A and B are shown apart, each in its own frame.
Chain A
């Protein structure tokens, strides 16, 4: 029973990773691709952490995995925000060459 639940959660995580990668590949714009990356960071990794937690039932390792997930989410947020700011500066530079 737990094995099935774990497997389902892991597959959900895989689906979000796939969605993230396809988004990065196919979306037309830098900003849309940033959206796709954050889906993999948050939900993709989150479901995998939940699935592994269900499968192994060791609460200490589960806490460490939650910490790792939290760090990846935070660092992903910061990086994508910085990249978005930089990308916006790039595009405004191109649109207003008179400055």
Chain B
């Protein structure tokens, strides 16, 4: 049951990938990555339960924390790039 759910979420992640590949500009790609990050966290929560590995919850915590850092860094660099 849990692995089936993980497979399903992985498939929806696959849909989001299309936007990363195609997104006409960077903002589209960044928001798709945000979606993929949440999907990854969901899959990790399911895997932690399915494989009985509590440490995977910490991996999910790290992804949740860094999910805030990475887009902020990207956007700051984007604005830098424009100022040149």
Assuming the contacts A72-B38, A78-B72, asked whether A48 and B19 have C-beta atoms less than 8 A apart, the reply is no
Assess the B68–A75 pair: CB atoms within 8 A. yes
Interface residues on B, range: 35 or more
B71 in contact with A83 (CB, 8 Å): yes
In the complex, which residues 59-99 of chain A have their Cβ closer than 8 Å to any Cβ of chain B? Answer: 61, 64-65, 67-68, 71-72, 74-76, 78-80, 82-83, 86-87, 90
Residues of A bordering B, CB below 8 Å: 7, 10-11, 13-14, 17-18, 20-22, 24-25, 30, 33-34, 36-37, 40-41, 44-45, 48-49, 52, 55-56, 61, 64-65, 67-68, 71-72, 74-76, 78-80, 82-83, 86-87, 90
Q: What residues make up the interface of B, taking CB atoms closer than 8 Å to A?
A: 1-2, 5, 8-9, 12-13, 15-16, 18-19, 25, 27-28, 30-32, 34-35, 37-39, 41-42, 45-46, 49, 54, 57, 60-61, 64-65, 67-68, 71-72, 75, 78-79
